Structure 1
Amino acid sequence: MAVSQGPAPAVHESSCERAASPDCYCMCDGMMHQRDVLIAAFESRGTPADFDRELTRLFGSPFTTLSMDPVPPDRDRRDNWEPMASASTAKKRSQVEQRVVDVALRDLLRIVHAMPPHSKPGWSSLLNALTIQASWGSIVTQIAAIAGPHDEVSGYFWGSMLAAASGAQTLGSSVSPADIGSFPGSVSTVFDQARHPRANAGNTVKMIKEMTYPNAVSVAAKPVASAWSTTTVTAREKGTVLAIVGSAVSPDLWHHPAAVRYLLLPAVSGIRALVPSASFSLDSAIQTAEDAIRTELAEKWRDRGVW
């Protein structure tokens, strides 16, 4: 199916690009989600202090422990934190899991913003290409014609597609649309579900329906593969850029096992390789941020057969 390269619609829901909450209803299939903060990080816009305030607005404070109750002016991203001393067991687990992904993504963007602009040549252009800045509206229209109207989890589609591309690029230097389309079926991780780490069934597991239509996946895979093959970003860096972009466009990493495995974890390890001095808020003497992701999220998804 040919992918039209027509202009994007003049109007996109700006709250999606600003993405101040993790329950965004993305009419763009996730392509434009959190675009503002990605551009600001990649181009090092604003002062570090101003950018840090924006990160706090979007993701909450840079907590250094998993269970510390927020004390003003610190705030939790989701604004529904219950004191750990009185919260139910399930609520405690949810809060810890959410904090892991929220703080890790916040740290990633902080570290990228602090990198000198001259050390990130081509990053913004690759961001634009991976999120189909020039023609996202046309792509969305084609996908909807195949998969039907958007629903509450359609915003996870683009994150799943970038996760598939990230996984595919680990298998070889070239990434074709077919490579991206076939990767989800070659691994145990689910790419077509939005589910928190302890979800079993019912309304806690939601299908990303666009991922269940091979033709919709094919439409999306073509521009992503083109972005990968035509970028001027170095081979050493572009996998990390892809992983950072994909981590940010997912509406909520807490519900997105494919994005955590193939985007968030590679983004954290990739940025550590590019910036050896980088540190993450949840790094400690006994575990790294990656350890926290694996313990609090990956192992639980693995227990449910979706990792």
Structure 2
Amino acid sequence: MRVLLTGSSGWLGRFLAPALREVGHSVTGLDLAPGPETHVVGSIASRAVVDRAMGLGIDAVIHTAALHKPDIARYPVQAFIDVNVTGTLNLLEAARAAGHDRFVMTSTTSLMISEAIRREESPDAVWLDEATGPLAPRNIYGVTKLAAEGLCRLHAADHGLACAVLRTSRFFPEDDDTHKRPSGENLKAIELLHRRLTVEDAAAAHVAALEKAPVIGFGLYLVSAPPPFSRADAAALKANAAALIRERFPDAEALFAARGWQLPQSLGRVYDPALAETELGFRCRTDFAAVLEALRTGAPLPFAHDPAYTSPLVKGR
């Protein structure tokens, strides 16, 4: 299949392009920033750019391009609407005009986090899945990604374009832009308990969605490493997460301490990816247990951490 991959110069794109080729697809990359996987340089906010890319011979679209939460400090609100909403509409309309039978879009779990969830006001950990709502995104990034999801839903319902939307949890390599403690690697290891996946697993999820989209019609999936918890653990996670982690992983605290890390005392939210496993047949390969195994054996950590990472779009400004 000939796949148009938007966001091909980005962090996900550089892993997704080779993952698609590995299973036999050809890839045409479209991005505002040049890169080794990018063949068409331009903005998806321009219908002319989208049509130029489609004219190269395309059978399906995987749409990962977006302005993200860190971009809020760099771009005006209108830019988010232009890229995340108008850009998505341009791609959907072009895919429909070309007679495509599938469209995959990267969304974000961020749009599920209201201000109350962010502040962790609930006495229990909040369990988040595709049924969570009503949604109240707390910034323009979340608002525009939710709108883009709605456009995909409409094109599936009104025009028969099968769309799979993946709400991915965190997989960025850089440090968190709001949390300084615990350290970057320590935080990423903790997040694999409840709200992170590796970029390799994010890429694999998109490949799986591309395959399954035509039989789904429209599907919305939360994609994250499987948590070692259940809804029954919500109160314990909020009150004393470290105790529950020690119960499930008896050597976790010692392994963390040997690296100068700490276990979390409280976890305020958990992402549940069960629906993606049921309907897409996809389950992340890397989880918290993989981190502990790496710590036991001295193997490299199973996730990317690069505090100096800067997106190609920012580098080119």
Q: For this structure pair, what is the TM-score category when the shorter chain's length is used for normalisation?
A: under 0.3
- Decide which structure has greater strand share: 2
- Which structure has the larger Rg? 2
Give the TM-score of the pair, scaled to structure 1: 0.27
- Decide which structure has greater helix share: 1
Give the TM-score of the pair, scaled to structure 2: 0.26
